[in-house]
Amino acid sequence: MIGVTILGATGSIGINTLDVLSLHPGRFTVVALTGNRDVDGLYRQCLQWRPAYAVLVDAAAAGRLSRQLRSAGSNTRVLSGAAALEEVVRLPETDYVMAAIVGAAGLAPTLAAARAGKRVLLANKESLVMAGRIFMDEVRRHGAGLLPIDSEHNALFQCMPADRSGTLAERGVTRILLTGSGGPFRETPLAQLPLMTPEQACAHPNWEMGRKISVDSATMMNKGLEVIEACWLFNATLEQIQVVIHPQSVIHSLVEYADGSVLAQLGNPDMRTPIAHALAWPQRMAAGVAALDLVQVGRLDFQAPDYNRFPCLRLALAAMAAGGTAPAALNAANEVAVQAFLERRIRFTDIPPVIEYTLERVTPCDPVSLAVILASDTQARRIAQEWIGKLRN
Ligand code: NAD
Ligand code: MG
């Protein structure tokens, strides 16, 4: 049996992962499930899956979960605090770690999984955006596995040459074509964008996801973060990656080769496909996903991205080009701005200016250590809050 620990079990990716695991009861066992403070969600999951450990980062929530589980006769041990996330990742029983915490909070435990040499199923793209070089180095040094869960990167992984050594050019790859739906506001009149609510931003046409990534999809910051993620995962330069708008979300991304071949991975937009792929790799197993009906789909459309409509995409590419800790600062400012938008403290169209303001003011650093990266994250959050604070005065 393969032991699976899920970081962010109570979220969208976590729930989809358990759904896939439920189709393969003899093959996987759940070692630990973690969440932030969702007592009810984790309680239900613990009763169903009987993991050895459950973690809630929030101590009061963990206390409540522990009491509820005990009175239900459960043997699951409840831990609390961010350090406990790293503890359950390192357990010898943990073979695979689904890294599905949202945001910068996912970096430390995901890195711990790489350092412990586990197979990392990486949904938490923010880890790579913040600390791409360190993360990739640790994966290599500790012989960890790294399977992308982000649908585009999982598609690229599937379309890449099987031999994973050498540069893209040495392997005959000329370009990566990263597709994106354009989100819910692809055709919204620009004048209406300032009025868009969190509910509208979170109503994605093709995917059902957590709130933060849903807003990122609406601003297309998500695609910017994904370009950075692809640079690290596939050792690609910015020039080797082209973003293509593909509203149907049926082609999940493509790899272009020197001989003119372009390989694509297609499927219904359902995260259980990349999750099942990464769990079973190099084999294949059922994901519970409906077969793709191309006749029903009918047509596949493609457009160039509109950088005027989606300034966040431009800001992300610029941060990656600047290098150093700029992507970490971009990520931090974005997290602050998205949270403020979700709490209705700023408008949808205030998100890019918060990030731009921050990037103009952070101290550029060489990301030589995690400490430097986290200091940049902290500084960027403070500057982003300062922009938001100015709105009030
Ligand atoms: P979500 O908001 O639905 O779930 C987030 C999970 O992280 C929850 O379990 C929550 O309890 C936990 N969490 C939140 N803050 C935490 C903290 N400070 N410490 C510890 N745990 C914390 O998010 P999601 O949509 O499942 O996305 C998770 C990650 O996967 C993100 O990085 C996202 O970009 C990536 N991703 C998601 C999808 C998708 O379809 N949802 C697709 C591709 C990539
Ligand atoms: Mg994606």
Across 343-371, average pLDDT: 97
Q: For residue 316, what are the CA distances in angstroms to 102, 252, 289?
A: 18, 20, 32
> How many Å lie between the centroid of ligand 1 and the Cα of residue 2?
23
> How many Å lie between the centroid of ligand 1 and the Cα of residue 148?
15
For residue 204, the model assigns a pLDDT of 86
- CATH 3.40.50.720-classified regions of the chain: 2-148
Whole-angstrom Cα distance, residue 26 to residue 171? 38
Let me know: does 181 contact 247? Beta carbons within 8 Å.
Answer: yes
Which ligand is closest to the CA of 269, given by its number? 1
Which ligand is closest to the CA of 335, given by its number? 1
Let me know: does 76 contact 101? Beta carbons within 8 Å.
Answer: no
Nearest to 350 by CA among 311, 301, 304, 307: 311
> How many Å lie between the centroid of ligand 1 and the Cα of residue 22?
20
Rg of the chain taking only CA atoms, in angstroms: 20
Q: Where residue 133 falls among pLDDT bands split at 50, 70, 90? A: very high
For residue 122, give both structure tokens: 């990486």
Q: Of the residues 87, 98, 101, which should be mutated to test ligand 1's pocket, given the most ligand atoms within 8 Å of the CB?
A: 101
Which ligand is closest to the CA of 130, given by its number? 1
Query: Count of CB atoms within 10 A of residue 131's CB?
Result: 28
Fold of 2-148: Rossmann fold (3.40.50)
For residue 239, give both structure tokens: 């020039």
Residue type, 157: F
Across 83-93, average pLDDT: 98
Query: Count of CB atoms within 10 A of residue 283's CB?
Result: 7
Let me know: does 176 contact 230? Beta carbons within 8 Å.
Answer: yes
Across 263-275, average pLDDT: 98
Pocket of ligand 1 (CB under 6 A): 8-14, 35-36, 38, 57, 100-102, 105, 123-126, 150, 207, 209-210, 212-213, 271
- Would you say residue 125 has pLDDT above 70? yes
> How many Å lie between the centroid of ligand 2 and the Cα of residue 217?
9
For residue 163, the model assigns a pLDDT of 86
321 Cβ partners below 8 Å, 6+ apart?
A: 238
Residues bordering ligand 2, an ion, CB closer than 5 Å: 150-152
Q: Where residue 9 falls among pLDDT bands split at 50, 70, 90? A: very high
Report the run of H or E that residue 6 belongs to, with start and end.
Answer: strand 2-7
- Would you say residue 17 has pLDDT above 80? yes
- Domain 311-392 maps to which CATH number in 3.40.190.80, 3.40.50.460, 3.40.50.10320, 1.10.1740.10? 1.10.1740.10
- Would you say residue 353 has pLDDT above 80? yes
- Would you say residue 7 has pLDDT above 70? yes
> How many Å lie between the centroid of ligand 1 and the Cα of residue 210?
6
Q: Where residue 18 falls among pLDDT bands split at 50, 70, 90? A: very high
Which ligand is closest to the CA of 103, given by its number? 1
Let me know: does 43 contact 71? Beta carbons within 8 Å.
Answer: no
For residue 304, which phi and psi values (nearest 5 degrees)?
-80, 150
Strands 96-99 and 77-80: unpaired
For residue 393, the model assigns a pLDDT of 64
Strands 262-266 and 241-245: unpaired
> How many Å lie between the centroid of ligand 2 and the Cα of residue 29?
27
